Amino acid sequence: MENRLIDDRHIDFLLYEVVDAESLCELSYFSDHGRDTFSLYLQQARKLAREVLYPTYRTLDLEPPELKDGAVRVHPELEKILPRMVDLGVVSATRPYEVGGQQLPFLIFGMANAYLMAANLAAYGYLGLTTGAARLIESFGSEDLKSQYMKRMYSGEWTGTMALTEPQAGSSLADVATRAVLTDEGHYLLSGTKIFLSGGDHGITDNIVHMALARIEGAPAGIKGVSLFVVPKKRFDGEDLVDNDCVVSGLFHKIGWRGLPSISLTFGDRGDCRGYLVGEAHQGIRYMFQMMNEARLMVGLNGASTASAGYLEALRYAQDRPQGRRLKGREPGAPQVPIIEHADVRRMLLRQKAIVEGGFALLAKASALQDRGEHADDERERERASLLLDLLTPIAKSFPAEWGFEANTLSVQVHGGYGYTSEYLPEAWWRDQKLNSIHEGTTGIHGLDLLGRKVMMKGGQPLMLLGEAIAESVAAAHEAGVEGAWCEALQAAVATVGELTAHLGGLGMAGDPEGMLLHSDDYLSLLSIVVVAWQWVDMAAAAKRGLARGEDTERAFYEGKLYAAQYWIATELPKTTVLAELCRTGEDSYVRIDALSF
């Protein structure tokens, strides 16, 4: 049996039985769409993932890019794969018709693209980043920048990168030091070094467009003095493309995503690197942040997809691999049983299932909010959706990264000694997954973002919206016949979050932000567990409704949801009590310890 990477039935269940994807078609932006176009897109993505991307996954992992004579050489298979993804609309499917897009809901786009990520995360990366880069130009760039750069990126002719990080700054974008000096001709001359540019050089397309943060001469210190520039590898000189003085100054040896190069790039070594300002000066960070929800949902999708591939591989292995016997009635000489018969293996599998499917459910919900936040015809609906999405984003990004990593670790463990070898695939997904807790904001930063910014926004509105949404789900779950105790446990946890947040908010208002944020990581874990419990209650309700329809072929599928829900409520939700206690008491060991005492 082939690894299907992601369970199609689960994705369809989420789209049509849990989040009601079709209701998005009532919005005018999506009005040309319907379940038929959704299905077609999904089907094409599944096919491409399984038939084209997955077969080259290990190849790209084993033969990573090399830096030779100042240029990065990537695996030649990518030249065949990338255009296939472009054809599927990976770069532009959600974009408006006028820029060449298909106005597809992000929800459908995300769930379909998840297959491509599960199949070959590194190959996907080239185009995922291109979308992000092109969108910045679409939203904030001049018409010139759009016609010269954005169009070629959306069409897949060129790729794009994010050139944010610098060696001395890392996560601290306030410390970006790349300089930009305005010339008489209207462009800027850039100088500085960027690191961790994924897909920063490759040779597959004729050009690469870097979206770079830099500081214009005389700009204020800190994040309010950072501007956004288009800095192409090759710039236009009339109709011709000429070298733009971007020098590959190093290639990082990543431990995963090995088909996608991560480089350091030096701008302006010979004083001739031109950058074109996007939007207004000093607004770079604000522009970046406006794109961030979507970028972070994409990282969440990476995480869920990578965990899914590992889970389904472990499931397949556990079904096929005979070893040992049941505890009761083990006769020497009796045939061995498949390891899925052993309780501890089942525990590891159900844990993976609960993480993977719970993660996808959260991402589906967040993606639908992204669609409504951007395209609802009613302004108030857009606002509400955006606020709730703001709150859910740090969780939708970091839950699949952190718990997904645990799932991938369990996938290795289920494979035993074989899992520790590169003759089997789980270790590769396990390495890939680890990046997701680091890039696009570390988990620590998302904890600070959630507790220091998101839950406190607009007088606590986002958390109220979350409470309302969960209350609606609980009411529906009751009606569908979901276990009352599960609903009560979820609501009790929500009440705990509310009280705790009020307490911590009080510390912040009393001028003690460090006290408020001391356990921001625990707070992020706590709210993640609760939010995923909400998904499981929702899925349990949909499963109950499915069972009530009484189709026998679907019974096993729906019952699986109920057991996974039971698992999550019983195993994870009680941990919130411990986490809440740590946050509330402000357990202070790690702030009080002297640096010399470590």
Report 537-576 residues binding its own copies (CB under 8 A). 556-557, 559-560, 563-564, 566-567, 570-571, 574-575
Residue 297's φ and ψ, nearest 5 degrees, are: -65, -35
Cα 401 from Cα 437, distance rounded (Å): 5
Cβ distance to its own copies smaller for residue 381 or 512: 512
Residue 241 CB coordination number (10 Å)? 15
Active-site choice (341, 440, 472, 488) = 440
Span near its own copies by CB under 8 A; candidates 169-177, 382-390, 459-467, 487-495: 169-177
Span near its own copies by CB under 8 A; candidates 87-95, 119-127, 283-291, 323-331: 323-331
Question: Site residues for its own copies, window 246-275 (CB under 8 A)?
Answer: 252-256, 262
147 binds its own copies (CB under 8 A): no
Question: Site residues for its own copies, window 21-50 (CB under 8 A)?
Answer: none
Span near its own copies by CB under 8 A; candidates 66-74, 99-107, 410-418, 472-480: 410-418
Question: Site residues for its own copies, window 149-168 (CB under 8 A)?
Answer: 165, 168
Kindly tell me the sign of the dihedral angle through the C-alpha atoms of 162, 101, 157, 72: positive
Minimum distance, C-beta of residue 1 to its own copies, in the bound complex (Å): 13
- The identity of residue 175, as a single letter, is D
Helix runs in 7-160, H state only: 8-13, 35-48, 57-62, 77-87, 106-119, 121-140, 143-145, 151-154
Minimum distance, C-beta of residue 277 to its own copies, in the bound complex (Å): 21
- The identity of residue 208, as a single letter, is I
Q: At what angle do helices 426-434 and 292-320 cross, to 10 degrees?
A: 160
Distances (CA, A) of 248 to 73, 167, 196, 200: 12, 14, 11, 8
- Which of 76, 220, 484, 506 touches its own copies (CB under 8 A)? 220
5 binds its own copies (CB under 8 A): no
Contact letters for its own copies, residues 416-435 (x by CB under 8 A)? xx-xxxxx---x------xx
Contact letters for its own copies, residues 301-320 (x by CB under 8 A)? --------------x---x-
Contact letters for its own copies, residues 434-453 (x by CB under 8 A)? xx-xxx--xxx--xx-----
CB 527 within 8 A of CB 450: yes
Angle 327-313-441 (CA atoms, 0-180°, nearest 5)?
115
User: Strand, helix or coil at 95?
Assistant: coil
Cβ distance to its own copies smaller for residue 233 or 439: 439
Contact letters for its own copies, residues 329-348 (x by CB under 8 A)? --xxx--x---x-xxxxxxx
Whether 499 is catalytic is no
CB 136 within 8 A of CB 99: no
Cα 193 from Cα 40, distance rounded (Å): 43
Cβ distance to its own copies smaller for residue 146 or 584: 584
Task: Return the active site residues.
Answer: 440
